Amino acid sequence: MQILSRRAFLTRTAGTAAALVAAPLAPLWADPASRRFRIGACDWSLGKMATPEAFAVAREIGLDGVQVSLGTEKDNMHLRQVAMQQAYRDAARESGLAIASLALGELNNIPFKSDPRTIAWVGDAVDVAAALGVRVILLAFFHKGDLRDDPAGTAEVVRRLKTLAPRAEKAGVILGLESWLSAEEHLDIIERVGSPAVQVYYDVCNSNDRGYDIYDEIRRLGKRGLICELHAKENGALLGQGKVDFRRVRAALDDIGYSGWIQIEGALPPGAPLVSSYRANLKFLRELFPGPA
């Protein structure tokens, strides 16, 4: 695969965005593959982290797909195994759903900024993503992996990403950074790495909770082609009943021409049943993100 320069990559992204804005969008009842937006959920939010059983739950809810975990320290990131990859393909095919994207949530406990094992995990995740036909890998930077007020940790993340980004570029895979950092801080990391394979995995709830203007941040990052995927999230509330104004999120996504996956994370009131709550979350999002505004 041809490796694009940053300028060429952003030019191509801008052209795609313009085409999306100009083209008529698919109606609510269209086949999921033809919709502008596809809605999935994280396997950990479905109570089935790092297991193919997440697809059965997602099908019961009515989702389009599942964001799957590479694994955990305990199972040695088992999605790296060819047999496990086949098990996920089988589960996806049987459910009629898609493997939407890949995530390394274990980086919250075993930080990419400091643990040498994580370099191999992220590198292998690129190969797994390519084998499964997914484009986005979420790299998590929370808890022990937090980069706030940690210039040394951030510098090490930049160094490691520089070594891994060419592998991701060749595979056509995006490494999406999800953290407590602001848009400006993410942009600083991306510029220092200097690769179009490093973008932002934008979580509207996390950034809103940090006090950032998420609607402005989406536009600032998105107009540079730097948002690879999004989490639709609330802490302790259904979507539409919390702090995030998803109508304004939709307007911001329209402004940047975003097209792709939106993954539901959290958004479960205390003590509420998962399936019925996620059906309500899905219904809310479908009304806002079916295609045409």
Would you say residue 5 has pLDDT above 80?
no
Q: Are 222 and 253 a contacting pair, CB within 8 Å? A: yes
Enumerate helices (H) and strands (E) in the chain, giving the number of each. 10, 8
- Nearest-5° angle of CA 54, CA 179, CA 3? 85
Indicate the pLDDT class of residue 36, thresholds 50, 70 and 90: confident
Model pLDDT, residue 22: 33
Give the pLDDT confidence of 78-120 residue by residue, as tens digits.
Answer: 999 999 999 999 999 999 999 999 999 999 999 999 999 999 9
**Who contacts 239 (Cβ-Cβ below 8 Å, separation ≥6)?**
232, 233, 246, 264, 267, 280, 281, 284, 285
For residue 239, name the pLDDT band (cuts at 50, 70, 90).
Answer: very high
* CA-based max dimension of the chain: 50
User: For residue range 148-180, what is the model confidence (pLDDT) as tens digits?
Assistant: 999 999 999 999 999 999 999 999 999 999 999
* Tens-place pLDDT, residues 244-290: 999 999 999 999 999 999 999 999 999 999 999 999 999 999 999 98
**Residue 49 phi, psi (nearest 5):** -65, 135
- The dihedral built from the CA positions of residue 108, 149, 198 and 239, taken in this order, carries a sign that is positive
pLDDT beyond 90 at 189: yes
Residue 23 has pLDDT above 50, yes or no: no
164: which 2 tokens? 């891994």
Quote the pLDDT of residue 35: 52
* Cα distance between residue 197 and residue 277, in whole Å: 35
Confidence of residue 10 (pLDDT cuts 50, 70, 90): very low
Q: Does 7 or 84 have the greater pLDDT score?
A: 84
What Cα–Cα distance (Å) separates residue 175 from each residue in 29, 78, 125, 149, 160? 32, 19, 10, 22, 12
Is residue 19's pLDDT more than 50? no
Helix axes 274-288, 246-256, angle to 10 degrees: 50
Which residue ranges form the domains of the chain, and what is each CATH number?
A: 36-288 (3.20.20.150)
List pLDDT tens digits, range 200-234: 999 999 999 999 999 999 999 999 999 999 999 99
| 3 or 128: which leads in pLDDT | 128
d(CA 85, CA 104): 15
Report the pLDDT value the prediction gives residue 183, as an integer from 0 to 100.
98
pLDDT digits (tens, 9 = 90+) for 114-150: 999 999 999 999 999 999 999 999 999 999 999 999 9
